Amino acid sequence: MILVTGGTGLVGAHLLYELTSRGESVRALKRERSNTEFVDWVFKLYSHESSKLLQGIEWVDGDLLDYQSLLDATKGVQTVYHTGGIVSFNPLQSSSVIETNITGTGNLVDACMDNGVKEICHVSSIAALGQANESGMVDEDCRWIESKGQNAYAVSKLYGENQLWRGFAGGLRVIVVNPTVILGPGRWDSGSGQLFKRVYKGMPFYTNGVTGFVDVRDVARAMVVLMEETGINGERFILNSENVSYRDIFTMMAASLGKRKPSIRVPAGVVDAVYPLVQLFGQLSGRGNLVSKANLKTAFRVTLYSSQKIREKIGFEFIPIEETIRFVGKAFRNAEP
């Protein structure tokens, strides 16, 4: 039996599709108040036999902070894919991010060991990686160094990974994947989906920053393929299709949505000037600081990520980002969010 946590999220839904398409029966963990409509939508996006595939999912209610629910969910399970957690850069949510992504992951690891689960694949993040090496690239060996201004999400992903390495020391087979910015369809009000929504409404601005991007379908496929390689254990893998500038990403998004491409470059020095307005808006709206200053500044950095390890280890090939954006743009137009 396979268990997927975070089954109603972007990665979780695509992972469920990948697994059921391969004929696997899967148990999926969701919160009691969550529904599965998004998963249904994802399956219909890719298959005319979505109803049949959806029958291969056994949904169970649970929570990463409810240890008993994790014990129940992992009974009879051999393999766990851990995609659950909170992705937020809002300082107001820092405590929830830390608790869920660290304590919750630790609870899952403990439940796996208590129930004799054999292996677990954990979705971490490039936020858990350190600065670029001497070649100018961030790879799996770049170690995170704590410094002032790092956001709670980065901290939570680093120490969440440590929970997995604790499980590895206890006998679990562990694989960790570190995706770059994940692009995928459907979640238009969160994650990278917000970028498509913003560009659709009009995005005249861009920065000179560069970062990595990866298709959510590649994240799901890579996880499954890595777990099938039984000789791999105790390793992490960066999942990155391409390093692309924000200007080029917004330009490709605009083309996929039939909108005007960005034409106004925003200088790096503007962050210090506009951040007080960001804080004020967050306070007036009751949502706290919508994003930290440190995270705003990442939009101006050039950070390059290497996926050489997974390419060489298992011959993995990624979907080109331009193809990904055309696909997601079409899904956005059809969905009319």
Whole-number pLDDT of residue 285: 39
Whole-number pLDDT of residue 167: 95
Q: Can you list the residues of the chain whose pLDDT is less than 70?
A: 146-150, 271-297, 336-337
Residues 6+ apart with CB under 8 A from 204: 260, 262, 263, 264
- With CA atoms as reference, report the closest residue to 177 among 157, 193, 192: 157
Whether the CB-CB separation of 335 and 186 falls below 8 Å is answered with yes
- With CA atoms as reference, report the closest residue to 47 among 14, 70, 77: 14
d(CA 128, CA 138): 11
Predicted TM-score of the model (pTM): 0.91
Q: Per-residue pLDDT tens for 66-83?
A: 999 999 999 999 999 999
Domain covering 2-185+213-241+304-320: architecture: 3-Layer(aba) Sandwich (3.40)
Domains of the chain: which residue ranges? 2-185+213-241+304-320
Whether the CB-CB separation of 291 and 278 falls below 8 Å is answered with yes
Whole-number pLDDT of residue 37: 92
List the beta bridge partners of residue 245.
Answer: 210
> How would DSSP label each residue in 103-117?
IIHHHHHHHHHHTT-
DSSP assigned state of 75: T
Q: Per-residue pLDDT tens for 190-212?
A: 778 888 988 998 888 888 889 99
d(CA 151, CA 156): 9
